[in-house]
Amino acid sequence: MTPPPPAVVRRLLATARTTRFRVERAAAGRGGGTLPAPVHLSLRDSRTLNVAVAARQDAVGGRLLITRGHRRYAVPLALEPRTHGDPLLTATVTLRDARDGGRPGVPLSDGVWRLTVETRDARGRAGRHGLGIEGDPAPPPTPTVPHAPDPRTGTLVRIVRSRGGRAVLQATRSLPRAELVRFVPSGHGITVHGRLVAGAAGQAGAQGRAVRRRDGVVVPVEVDWRAEEFTLRVPLDRMTGAGPGQWVWDLRVGELPLGRWLSDVRDHAASRPTPFRVFALPDGGLTRAHAHFTPSGAFAVTCLDITDLTREPAKETP
Protein backbone atom coordinates (compact mmCIF):
# COMPACT_ATOMS: atom_id res chain seq x y z
CA MET A 1 0.00 0.00 0.00
CA THR A 2 1.40 3.38 -1.03
CA PRO A 3 1.76 5.75 1.96
CA PRO A 4 -0.10 9.09 1.69
CA PRO A 5 1.88 12.18 0.68
CA PRO A 6 3.50 14.17 3.53
CA ALA A 7 1.13 17.11 2.95
CA VAL A 8 -1.88 14.81 3.46
CA VAL A 9 -0.34 13.36 6.64
CA ARG A 10 0.24 16.86 8.02
CA ARG A 11 -3.35 17.86 7.32
CA LEU A 12 -4.68 14.72 9.01
CA LEU A 13 -2.50 15.29 12.07
CA ALA A 14 -3.58 18.93 12.27
CA THR A 15 -7.24 17.93 12.08
CA ALA A 16 -6.77 15.31 14.80
CA ARG A 17 -5.03 17.80 17.07
CA THR A 18 -7.74 20.43 16.54
CA THR A 19 -10.39 17.86 17.50
CA ARG A 20 -8.43 16.81 20.58
CA PHE A 21 -8.04 20.43 21.71
CA ARG A 22 -11.78 21.00 21.28
CA VAL A 23 -12.57 17.98 23.47
CA GLU A 24 -10.01 18.99 26.12
CA ARG A 25 -11.32 22.56 26.27
CA ALA A 26 -14.86 21.27 26.77
CA ALA A 27 -13.70 18.95 29.56
CA ALA A 28 -11.64 21.68 31.25
CA GLY A 29 -14.69 23.98 31.39
CA ARG A 30 -16.92 21.57 33.30
CA GLY A 31 -17.59 22.05 37.01
CA GLY A 32 -15.80 24.39 39.36
CA GLY A 33 -18.77 26.48 40.56
CA THR A 34 -18.69 30.22 40.11
CA LEU A 35 -16.04 31.76 37.90
CA PRO A 36 -15.02 35.19 39.19
CA ALA A 37 -13.15 37.32 36.68
CA PRO A 38 -9.49 37.96 37.51
CA VAL A 39 -8.27 41.48 38.18
CA HIS A 40 -5.48 40.76 35.71
CA LEU A 41 -4.63 37.79 33.49
CA SER A 42 -2.06 38.04 30.71
CA LEU A 43 0.57 36.00 28.93
CA ARG A 44 3.73 37.30 27.28
CA ASP A 45 5.70 35.43 24.60
CA SER A 46 4.09 32.12 25.67
CA ARG A 47 6.49 32.15 28.63
CA THR A 48 5.37 34.58 31.33
CA LEU A 49 1.91 34.25 32.88
CA ASN A 50 0.75 37.12 35.10
CA VAL A 51 -2.22 36.58 37.42
CA ALA A 52 -3.96 38.83 39.96
CA VAL A 53 -7.23 37.88 41.66
CA ALA A 54 -9.24 39.60 44.37
CA ALA A 55 -9.05 37.89 47.77
CA ARG A 56 -11.26 38.10 50.84
CA GLN A 57 -10.18 40.29 53.73
CA ASP A 58 -9.45 37.23 55.87
CA ALA A 59 -7.30 35.52 53.24
CA VAL A 60 -3.74 34.67 54.27
CA GLY A 61 -2.45 33.07 51.09
CA GLY A 62 -3.17 30.82 48.17
CA ARG A 63 -1.90 28.85 45.19
CA LEU A 64 -2.48 28.80 41.46
CA LEU A 65 -2.98 25.24 40.25
CA ILE A 66 -2.13 24.42 36.63
CA THR A 67 -3.47 20.97 35.79
CA ARG A 68 -3.98 18.62 32.86
CA GLY A 69 -5.18 15.11 33.60
CA HIS A 70 -3.11 13.71 36.46
CA ARG A 71 -0.39 16.34 36.12
CA ARG A 72 -0.59 19.24 38.53
CA TYR A 73 1.73 22.16 39.25
CA ALA A 74 1.16 24.51 42.18
CA VAL A 75 2.47 28.09 42.13
CA PRO A 76 2.33 30.20 45.33
CA LEU A 77 0.16 33.32 45.20
CA ALA A 78 1.50 36.32 47.11
CA LEU A 79 -0.92 38.36 49.22
CA GLU A 80 -0.78 42.08 48.43
CA PRO A 81 -2.88 44.37 50.65
CA ARG A 82 -4.55 47.39 49.07
CA THR A 83 -5.54 50.67 50.66
CA HIS A 84 -8.94 50.55 48.97
CA GLY A 85 -10.74 47.31 48.26
CA ASP A 86 -9.97 43.69 48.91
CA PRO A 87 -6.37 42.46 48.90
CA LEU A 88 -4.92 40.79 45.83
CA LEU A 89 -3.38 37.38 45.32
CA THR A 90 -0.74 37.67 42.60
CA ALA A 91 1.81 35.51 40.81
CA THR A 92 4.18 35.69 37.88
CA VAL A 93 4.64 32.20 36.46
CA THR A 94 7.40 31.10 34.09
CA LEU A 95 6.18 28.56 31.53
CA ARG A 96 8.24 26.33 29.24
CA ASP A 97 7.84 23.56 26.71
CA ALA A 98 7.94 20.20 28.48
CA ARG A 99 10.61 19.06 26.00
CA ASP A 100 12.86 22.02 26.82
CA GLY A 101 14.78 20.97 29.89
CA GLY A 102 17.35 23.75 29.62
CA ARG A 103 15.49 26.31 31.74
CA PRO A 104 13.24 26.49 34.79
CA GLY A 105 9.48 26.90 34.73
CA VAL A 106 6.22 24.98 34.66
CA PRO A 107 6.60 22.38 31.85
CA LEU A 108 3.57 22.37 29.56
CA SER A 109 3.01 19.57 27.08
CA ASP A 110 0.85 19.92 23.99
CA GLY A 111 -2.77 20.32 25.12
CA VAL A 112 -5.20 22.25 27.33
CA TRP A 113 -4.29 23.17 30.91
CA ARG A 114 -6.83 24.16 33.57
CA LEU A 115 -6.28 27.15 35.87
CA THR A 116 -7.61 26.97 39.43
CA VAL A 117 -7.15 29.42 42.30
CA GLU A 118 -6.89 27.84 45.76
CA THR A 119 -7.18 30.18 48.76
CA ARG A 120 -6.99 29.73 52.51
CA ASP A 121 -8.03 31.94 55.42
CA ALA A 122 -6.71 32.44 58.97
CA ARG A 123 -8.78 29.48 60.19
CA GLY A 124 -7.19 27.15 57.67
CA ARG A 125 -10.28 26.86 55.52
CA ALA A 126 -9.58 26.41 51.82
CA GLY A 127 -11.59 27.35 48.77
CA ARG A 128 -11.13 26.71 45.07
CA HIS A 129 -12.49 28.38 41.98
CA GLY A 130 -11.66 28.79 38.34
CA LEU A 131 -11.14 32.07 36.50
CA GLY A 132 -13.84 33.38 34.20
CA ILE A 133 -13.15 35.37 31.05
CA GLU A 134 -15.33 36.88 28.38
CA GLY A 135 -15.24 35.81 24.76
CA ASP A 136 -12.27 36.98 22.76
CA PRO A 137 -13.06 40.49 21.49
CA ALA A 138 -11.78 41.67 18.14
CA PRO A 139 -8.21 42.85 18.91
CA PRO A 140 -7.32 46.42 17.97
CA PRO A 141 -5.00 46.78 14.98
CA THR A 142 -1.47 46.82 16.35
CA PRO A 143 1.99 46.03 14.92
CA THR A 144 2.10 42.84 17.01
CA VAL A 145 -0.14 39.78 17.23
CA PRO A 146 -2.04 39.10 20.48
CA HIS A 147 -0.46 35.66 20.95
CA ALA A 148 3.27 35.27 20.38
CA PRO A 149 5.20 31.96 20.31
CA ASP A 150 8.07 31.12 22.58
CA PRO A 151 11.06 32.61 20.72
CA ARG A 152 13.25 29.71 21.77
CA THR A 153 11.10 26.66 20.99
CA GLY A 154 8.23 27.99 18.88
CA THR A 155 5.58 26.58 21.23
CA LEU A 156 2.50 28.79 21.29
CA VAL A 157 0.64 29.14 24.60
CA ARG A 158 -2.63 31.08 24.64
CA ILE A 159 -5.20 32.00 27.24
CA VAL A 160 -8.46 30.76 25.75
CA ARG A 161 -12.07 30.52 26.90
CA SER A 162 -13.61 27.09 27.39
CA ARG A 163 -17.26 26.45 26.56
CA GLY A 164 -18.28 27.14 30.17
CA GLY A 165 -16.47 30.48 30.24
CA ARG A 166 -13.44 29.24 32.17
CA ALA A 167 -9.95 30.54 31.38
CA VAL A 168 -7.54 27.77 30.33
CA LEU A 169 -4.09 27.61 28.78
CA GLN A 170 -3.75 25.94 25.39
CA ALA A 171 -0.21 24.90 24.46
CA THR A 172 0.50 24.08 20.81
CA ARG A 173 3.92 22.87 19.75
CA SER A 174 5.43 24.38 16.65
CA LEU A 175 6.05 22.57 13.41
CA PRO A 176 9.74 21.97 12.57
CA ARG A 177 11.19 25.25 11.34
CA ALA A 178 14.35 26.83 9.96
CA GLU A 179 14.55 30.08 11.91
CA LEU A 180 16.58 32.96 10.49
CA VAL A 181 18.52 34.65 13.29
CA ARG A 182 20.11 37.40 11.18
CA PHE A 183 21.42 38.10 7.71
CA VAL A 184 24.51 40.18 6.98
CA PRO A 185 24.99 41.88 3.60
CA SER A 186 28.52 42.79 2.52
CA GLY A 187 30.07 44.06 -0.68
CA HIS A 188 30.29 40.58 -2.19
CA GLY A 189 27.20 38.78 -0.94
CA ILE A 190 24.67 38.00 1.78
CA THR A 191 25.43 35.68 4.69
CA VAL A 192 22.53 34.13 6.61
CA HIS A 193 22.74 32.77 10.16
CA GLY A 194 19.97 30.54 11.48
CA ARG A 195 18.97 27.58 13.64
CA LEU A 196 16.62 24.62 13.60
CA VAL A 197 13.74 24.54 16.09
CA ALA A 198 10.83 22.35 17.13
CA GLY A 199 12.16 18.90 16.39
CA ALA A 200 13.81 19.81 13.10
CA ALA A 201 17.10 18.19 14.14
CA GLY A 202 16.59 15.60 11.42
CA GLN A 203 17.33 18.33 8.89
CA ALA A 204 20.76 19.08 10.39
CA GLY A 205 23.49 18.51 7.83
CA ALA A 206 21.15 19.01 4.89
CA GLN A 207 21.97 21.37 2.07
CA GLY A 208 19.82 24.28 1.02
CA ARG A 209 18.32 25.58 -2.16
CA ALA A 210 17.08 28.80 -3.66
CA VAL A 211 13.78 28.36 -5.51
CA ARG A 212 12.74 30.89 -8.12
CA ARG A 213 9.22 31.85 -7.22
CA ARG A 214 7.64 32.18 -10.63
CA ASP A 215 8.78 28.98 -12.34
CA GLY A 216 10.41 26.80 -9.66
CA VAL A 217 13.99 26.90 -11.01
CA VAL A 218 16.31 25.59 -8.27
CA VAL A 219 19.85 26.72 -7.40
CA PRO A 220 21.78 24.65 -4.79
CA VAL A 221 22.94 26.41 -1.62
CA GLU A 222 25.82 25.17 0.51
CA VAL A 223 25.12 25.18 4.26
CA ASP A 224 27.73 25.09 7.04
CA TRP A 225 26.49 23.33 10.19
CA ARG A 226 27.37 23.54 13.85
CA ALA A 227 24.99 21.19 15.67
CA GLU A 228 21.54 22.67 14.93
CA GLU A 229 22.88 26.10 13.97
CA PHE A 230 23.73 26.88 10.37
CA THR A 231 25.30 29.50 8.13
CA LEU A 232 24.75 29.86 4.42
CA ARG A 233 25.83 32.28 1.74
CA VAL A 234 23.18 33.31 -0.76
CA PRO A 235 24.47 32.22 -4.22
CA LEU A 236 23.81 35.53 -5.95
CA ASP A 237 26.06 34.66 -8.91
CA ARG A 238 24.14 31.48 -9.79
CA MET A 239 20.77 33.09 -9.08
CA THR A 240 21.57 36.06 -11.29
CA GLY A 241 22.99 33.79 -13.99
CA ALA A 242 19.91 31.54 -14.05
CA GLY A 243 18.22 33.82 -16.59
CA PRO A 244 17.68 37.44 -17.61
CA GLY A 245 15.28 39.68 -15.74
CA GLN A 246 14.45 40.42 -12.13
CA TRP A 247 13.28 37.43 -10.11
CA VAL A 248 12.25 36.63 -6.55
CA TRP A 249 13.87 33.64 -4.87
CA ASP A 250 12.75 31.79 -1.72
CA LEU A 251 15.35 30.03 0.45
CA ARG A 252 14.99 26.57 1.95
CA VAL A 253 17.16 24.55 4.33
CA GLY A 254 16.60 20.90 3.62
CA GLU A 255 12.81 20.66 3.28
CA LEU A 256 12.14 23.67 5.53
CA PRO A 257 11.38 27.20 4.33
CA LEU A 258 13.74 29.77 5.82
CA GLY A 259 12.24 32.73 7.64
CA ARG A 260 11.65 34.72 10.81
CA TRP A 261 8.84 32.59 12.22
CA LEU A 262 9.16 32.89 16.00
CA SER A 263 8.07 36.48 16.40
CA ASP A 264 5.11 38.56 17.53
CA VAL A 265 5.38 40.87 14.50
CA ARG A 266 2.16 41.05 12.49
CA ASP A 267 3.63 42.22 9.16
CA HIS A 268 7.35 41.54 8.76
CA ALA A 269 7.60 43.31 5.42
CA ALA A 270 6.23 46.55 6.87
CA SER A 271 8.09 46.39 10.18
CA ARG A 272 11.48 45.32 8.81
CA PRO A 273 12.05 47.26 5.57
CA THR A 274 15.40 46.58 3.91
CA PRO A 275 17.16 48.46 1.09
CA PHE A 276 18.25 47.32 -2.35
CA ARG A 277 22.02 46.85 -2.57
CA VAL A 278 24.55 46.36 -5.34
CA PHE A 279 26.88 43.36 -5.01
CA ALA A 280 30.05 42.49 -6.92
CA LEU A 281 30.00 38.95 -8.30
CA PRO A 282 33.09 36.69 -8.55
CA ASP A 283 33.09 36.93 -12.35
CA GLY A 284 33.28 40.72 -12.25
CA GLY A 285 29.58 41.29 -12.85
CA LEU A 286 27.21 43.36 -10.72
CA THR A 287 23.81 42.46 -9.37
CA ARG A 288 21.21 44.55 -7.60
CA ALA A 289 19.65 42.43 -4.86
CA HIS A 290 17.00 42.96 -2.24
CA ALA A 291 17.07 40.61 0.74
CA HIS A 292 13.76 40.99 2.54
CA PHE A 293 10.95 39.39 4.52
CA THR A 294 7.46 38.71 3.24
CA PRO A 295 4.53 39.77 5.45
CA SER A 296 4.36 36.24 6.90
CA GLY A 297 8.07 36.24 7.78
CA ALA A 298 9.52 34.17 4.93
CA PHE A 299 12.99 35.23 3.79
CA ALA A 300 13.31 36.05 0.08
CA VAL A 301 15.87 37.64 -2.23
CA THR A 302 15.12 39.62 -5.39
CA CYS A 303 18.04 40.05 -7.80
CA LEU A 304 18.75 41.60 -11.20
CA ASP A 305 21.91 41.55 -13.31
CA ILE A 306 22.95 45.18 -13.85
CA THR A 307 26.41 44.56 -15.31
CA ASP A 308 25.54 45.88 -18.77
CA LEU A 309 23.70 48.87 -17.32
CA THR A 310 26.86 50.11 -15.59
CA ARG A 311 29.22 49.84 -18.56
CA GLU A 312 30.08 52.94 -20.48
CA PRO A 313 28.80 52.93 -24.04
CA ALA A 314 31.44 52.31 -26.67
CA LYS A 315 32.67 55.48 -28.34
CA GLU A 316 32.34 55.77 -32.08
CA THR A 317 35.59 56.10 -33.96
CA PRO A 318 35.66 59.02 -36.41
28-57 CB burial, b ≥16 within 10 A, e <16: bbeebeebeebeebebebbbebebbbebee
* pLDDT at 90 (0 to 100): 94
The DSSP bridge pattern shows strands 229-233 and 190-197 to be antiparallel
**pLDDT value of position 304:** 94
- Residue-level pLDDT at 276: 94
Task: State how beta strands 256-259 and 177-185 pair.
Answer: parallel
Of 257, 254, 233, 250, the residue nearest 292 (C-alpha)? 250
Half-sphere exposure of 211 (CA within 13 A, CB side): 15
Phi, psi (5° rounding) for residue 194? -155, -175
Segments in the chain below pLDDT 70: 1-34, 135-140, 200-201, 310-318
Query: CB count, 10 Å around CB of 93?
Result: 19
Give the phi and the psi of residue 5 in degrees, each rounded to 5. Answer: -60, 155
**What is the pLDDT at residue 146?**
84
Give me the DSSP letters along 1-28: -PPPPHHHHHHHHHHHHHHHHHHHHHHH
CA dist., res. 19 & res. 30, Å (int): 17
Rounded CA-CA distance 274/88 in Å is 47
In this prediction the pTM is: 0.79
Buried b (16+ CB within 10 A) or exposed e, 140-157: eeeeeeebbbbebbbbbb
**Alpha-carbon gap, residue 172 to 97, rounded angstroms:** 9
Residue 222 CA to residue 208 CA, distance in Å, equals: 6
Strands 126-130 and 190-197 turn out to be: unpaired
Residue 163 neighbours by CB under 8 Å, 6+ apart: 25, 26, 29
Contact 167, 161 (CB under 8 A): yes
| pLDDT at res. 85 | 76
- Alpha helix segments (H runs only) across the chain: 6-28, 236-240, 268-271
| Cβ(178)–Cβ(200) below 8 Å | yes
Q: Would you state the torsion angle of the CA atoms of residues 101, 104, 105, 110, taken in this order, to the nearest 10 degrees?
A: -10
